[in-house]
Chain A
Amino acid sequence: MIAGSALYQTAVELNRRAAICIPEDARLAVGQLCQRETHSLSRYVLEQIMENYQVAVAEQRPMCADTGLPRFYAKVGNEAVVEGGMVGLEEAVRRATAEATAAIPIRPNRVHPLSRKDQNNNVGVHAPTVDYSFEPGVNWLELTVVHKGGLFGGDYRMLFPADGVAGLKRFLLDSISEFFRRGMSCQPLVVGVGIGGTKDVCVRLAKEAACLRIVGDRNPDPDIATLEEELLELGNSTGFGVMGLPGDGAILDVHIEIAYTHTGGMPIAIQHFCFAHRRATARIGADNSIEYRGNPCWFTPFYRRESISFQPA
């Protein structure tokens, strides 16, 4: 059985790692961008970003003081048994979030949306959220935490089949124009695109695509993979570098996820995940062993399944 204490300790440690240590895939990608950049001001900024990653780890400081909104993603093995069930899990991550807020520290960002009341622990109504997916045939549980800055870089548009891929491209450029000027999105960043489903589902998929797939990962559907590469090239040919300064591009990768949608529509959402790319994952075994993992592997064949019953490949 997976113990509540293992969940709690892992969740505290995931918050610490996410806040302080840049994941390897993002660090390498920003480093490559920095080496390629030919504009001196953009390059100067990228060098400072690389230096900040290093100082954060060396001196155990949060990489960005806006520690975003902590959120959890639980991929639960179908055979996993959790102490206290999912209610126990939710309590463990809430306690861990409050503890991590004080101990790391991460900024108490979560407030009541109207009264602006702050409990100073990043816990409140629907905070932090836990999203679930399931993994057939295993008894472990994987927990991922994401700290994502919140104010800029997300948008939604109801497109129609007639808007097609041109509509999608225009939407990407529009979001760059909106949020790359002045660097409001804190580029360089990963772009997540959600296409289809309903309004809420495409927004959720865009966020998960941005935050839970590693740089360089391609969608297994070859047509979507090609579109990812096309959008990456388009997005990096705008002339925008970091901070909205002239540059050779500031998109680390584009990840697209789709969901079957209404026959008349093509809702679409875009989400930017900034260079303070805070994400950490651990697998907790049935024996309470803990293994930290670089790749959240959130989009599994089961999660993306198309058929009625799931047939493993």
Chain B
Amino acid sequence: MNNLEDLKLREVRLRAPLTEDDIRSLEIGDVVFLDGVLFTGREGLYSQLFDLNLQPPVDIRSLSNVTFHCSPAVNELRPGEYHIPAVSATASFRFDKYIPLLFERYDVRVIIGKGGMQKEIYQSTFRKYGAVYLTTVGYGLGALYGRGIRSVKDVHWKEELGLAQAMWVLEVENLGPFLVECNAQGRSLFEMANAEINQRFEKLYAGLPQPKLKRLGEVTSPTCEVL
């Protein structure tokens, strides 16, 4: 299958943590909704875990194998009591160096985020561990995803990392939609999209020369990715 128009947009609802069978059953273009438990993480959490090598305040493996690259908009109703009206993902590509450790040490197998990751890491790491990448849709759909947050089960490293970067453990119900961007075999929706669009896109450059002044260290082919 090479044409994105052939994708089925099959809706699936799964419980987090996901089983190996759940993960292997996911196909590119599936639309996923989740129930269960997941935790959030981004540069702050990864820096604590992997740059500073700190012990996490909770056994991550016992929580969930699903993590969400995001920081929620949090309302602290009373000390220790939180409401999350909205949540949207942050771009995942910049966390690539931490992913092998996240899979290896903490058995994470599902990454939810924005925009997918580099194809090298899909091939080297996602395939190896049989992990999948689910991308949020559109991206700025904070209200829609906020609906799926049932409760805040816990929050860790809040003082150290602040509200936006803290590790939030969330109980979710019908949280979605997410699109399967990378399946357990390392195939990628965005790679397919790029291949399809590039053929046409390059033609628009006819008669538009490179700028007179170049800059060092940049890609110059319009069909390359800047990641």
The residues of A with any CB-CB pair to B shorter than 8 Å are 39-41, 44-46, 48-49, 51-52, 55-56, 59-67, 102, 104-109, 111, 118, 120, 149, 151-152, 157-160, 162-163, 166-167, 169-171, 173-174, 177-178, 181-184, 186, 234, 237-240, 242-246, 274-276
Q: Evaluate contact between A245 and B4: CB separation under 8 angstroms.
A: yes
Chain A's closest residue to B74 (CB) is A105
Q: Return 28 A-B CB contacts under 8 Å, by A number.
A: A40-B5, A41-B9, A44-B9, A49-B138, A55-B147, A59-B143, A61-B147, A62-B142, A62-B146, A63-B140, A63-B142, A65-B87, A65-B145, A66-B71, A66-B142, A106-B73, A107-B73, A149-B140, A159-B212, A173-B222, A177-B222, A186-B139, A239-B196, A244-B194, A244-B197, A246-B4, A246-B5, A246-B193
**B164 contacts the other chain (Cβ, under 8 Å)?**
yes
Known contacts A62-B143, A170-B208, A181-B190; 5 additional CB pairs below 8 A are A48-B137, A63-B141, A65-B87, A118-B163, A183-B138
> Contacting B143 at CB < 8 Å: which of A52, A108, A152, A184?
A52
The residues of B with any CB-CB pair to A shorter than 8 Å are 4-5, 7, 9, 29, 31, 70-76, 85-88, 90-91, 114-116, 135, 137-147, 162-165, 177, 189-190, 193-194, 196-197, 200-201, 204-205, 207-213, 222-226
Q: Evaluate contact between A170 and B140: CB separation under 8 angstroms.
A: no
Q: Evaluate contact between A166 and B207: CB separation under 8 angstroms.
A: yes
Q: Evaluate contact between B144 and A238: CB separation under 8 angstroms.
A: no
A118-B162 contact in complex given A173-B222, A245-B4, C-beta closer than 8 Å: yes
Q: Please give the distance in Å from B165's CB to the nearest CB on chain A.
A: 8
Chain A's closest residue to B176 (CB) is A48
Q: Note all chain A residues with C-beta closer than 8 A to B4.
A: 39, 41, 245-246
> Contacting A162 at CB < 8 Å: which of B88, B114, B205, B212?
B212
By secondary structure, the B interface counts as mixed
Within the assembled complex, what's the spacing in Å between the Cα atoms of A130 and B196? Answer: 44
Q: Evaluate contact between A48 and B141: CB separation under 8 angstroms.
A: yes
Q: Please give the distance in Å from A242's CB to the nearest CB on chain B.
A: 6
A61-B85 contact in complex given A39-B4, A275-B140, C-beta closer than 8 Å: yes
Q: Note all chain A residues with C-beta closer than 8 A to B194.
A: 181, 244
Q: Evaluate contact between B197 and A183: CB separation under 8 angstroms.
A: no
Chain A's closest residue to B215 (CB) is A157
Q: Evaluate contact between B88 and A239: CB separation under 8 angstroms.
A: no
Q: Evaluate contact between B91 and A152: CB separation under 8 angstroms.
A: yes
Q: Evaluate contact between A109 and B141: CB separation under 8 angstroms.
A: no
Within the assembled complex, what's the spacing in Å between the Cα atoms of A275 and B114? Answer: 15
